[in-house]
Structure 1
Amino acid sequence: MSKDVSKLLKNLIKLTRGRRKSKMEGVMLNANGQKRPASSLEPSPTKKTNFVGLSPLGELTNIKTPTDRPFRVSVEGNIGAGKSTLIKYFQQTPGIDTYLEPLEWWRNVNGHNLLDLMYSDIYQWLNVFQNYVQYTRLVIQTSKPSSPSTTVQMFERSIQNNRFCFMEQAYRDGFLHGADYAVLDQWYRWIRANEDIALDLIVYLRSSPETVYERVKARQRPEEKSVSLDYLKGLHESHERWLMSDDERFNTIPVLVLDADKTLEEIVQQYKQNEDKILGYDKRKKFKAIEEDKNRVKKSLYFK
């Protein structure tokens, strides 16, 4: 990654620090004066999917296994869905490099806790936080494998998540000014064109907002004390729009959906049952997708 990226980040932070936004900045109104999303990405109005299994956009047989780098898989889901639990489950598996969310980076930027600042005053600090998150995810997602024997790189969330989930929600909710959104989008486009951030599979830990809300309260992370159920509902909708839509403007990466509302024991059992898929072994060993998987996806599709 070039030094220009780091320089760009520093300049962006200087430009945005200290600026306070009103609640309605970045929000568009319809003809009736009601708030409506100003997002550049909207779900397909004619076709929707509701599936639990492999995404029909990229069934298992269509997963592209790279020859010049490890298989890359990103674990996605709402706050409290169990992403770090899945990462830790595979952490000791030989040949797998795992990357937990860089919370400590966000908590200490030259002594500044950006995560806490963002949660305590989202209008003041969200843009700075989003810029830094995008930078740190870029650093992680372009990391070189730890050894020549590494066959899988597994990330807790991705730079794609930052762009198509958190950033879109912040813009729709009016937390992110239109100018800030445009700069972040342009930066993401540059990254996509100049850096290898490709993912081979997304594992979506799909959960209800109510379930993760109880988990967030139980784990008592200091920065999350202000996280509300409404915020988690918004994040859930953003994940659904990003990963459960068949609109290719949102996502073309194959998605494996797991039920994260279950108990820890049941969730771990899902990990075991889907281990070959999660680690790309099905494709690497030239296994064919199980016919039952294909049929389950087809049966669960519905069209409007």
Structure 2
Amino acid sequence: MYKDASRWSLAFQSYVQLTMAEGHNKSVKMMERSLFSARNCFVENLYKGGLMPEVDYAILSEFYGWITENEDTNIDLIVYLRAKPEVCQNRIRMRNRAEEKGVPIDYLKSLHSLHEDWLIEENKFKLPAPLLIIDANHDIADLYPKFEEAKDEIFAKLS
């Protein structure tokens, strides 16, 4: 997908929407990404970056609309691990995964901006659930206490 997004974005994002829709059908779920973030950030990024043709964008938008209107996509809480693109890039380097090598900082900046537009900019989007923001710009070890503090709020939504 990263090597030839123009060719693979429709297939990849269609599969993402399918697997996300399946994930939303479970009674208790915690997801790294959701159907909503896939559409509002990742699909939008491909389209705005000129890596997805307009017809593919229209197909995915229609597919997303159908899913959200006809399937149970209810979520209880969005947890936004808010981190600067440079922090994300450093973590990618530290993970040293082959599939993440070569992810450009511009890509991370664009995704960050789209997440900010979706989650932070008031009145731009109607969020499907309450939002909890955790500042994730700290070292990983320093984040564990923040996660512990947020645990009660996160799991309270599940009961």
Task: Please give the TM-score of this superposition, normalised by the length of structure 1.
Answer: 0.50
Task: Pick the aligned partner of 1:159 from 35, 39, 64.
Answer: 35
Unaligned segments of structure 1, at least 5 residues: 1-117, 146-151, 285-304
More helix by share: 2
Question: What letter matches 1:233 in structure 2?
Answer: K
Q: How much does 1:248 deviate?
A: 5.3
Partner of 1:270: 146
| 1:199 matches 2:75 | yes
Aligned length: 159
Structure 1 segments (4+ residues) deviating >3 Å:
none
5+ residue gaps, structure 2, are: none
The amino acid of 1:142's aligned partner reads: N
Q: Secondary structure at the match of 2:30?
A: strand
CA contact (8 A) 2:5 2:52 kept: no
CA distance in structure 1 between the aligned counterparts of 2:66 and 2:2, rounded to whole angstroms = 28
**RMSD of aligned C-alpha atoms?**
1.6
Q: What is the aligned partner in structure 2 of residue 222 from structure 1? A: 98
Deviation, 1:224, is: 1.0
1:72-91 to 2 correspondences below 5 Å: none
Q: Percent identity?
A: 40
Matched, 1:141 2:20: no
Quick one: distance in 1 between partners of 2:126 and 2:57?
Answer: 17
RCO comparison, higher one (Cα < 8 Å, 6+):
1
User: For the pair shown, which has the larger CA radius of gyration, 1 or 2?
Assistant: 1
Contact 2:81 2:136 in 1 (8 A): yes
Structure 1 residues 114-263: aligned runs within 5 Å: 118-143=1-26, 145=27, 152-247=28-123, 249-263=125-139
Secondary structure in 2 matching 1:227: coil
Deviation (angstroms), 1:235:
0.7
Shift of 1:272: 1.1
SS at match of 1:204: strand
- Find the aligned partners of 2:126 and 2:49 in 1 and give their Cα distance: 18
* Superposition TM-score, scaled by structure 2 size: 0.93
- Tell me, yes or no, if the aligned pair for 2:118 and 2:125 is still in contact at 8 Å: no
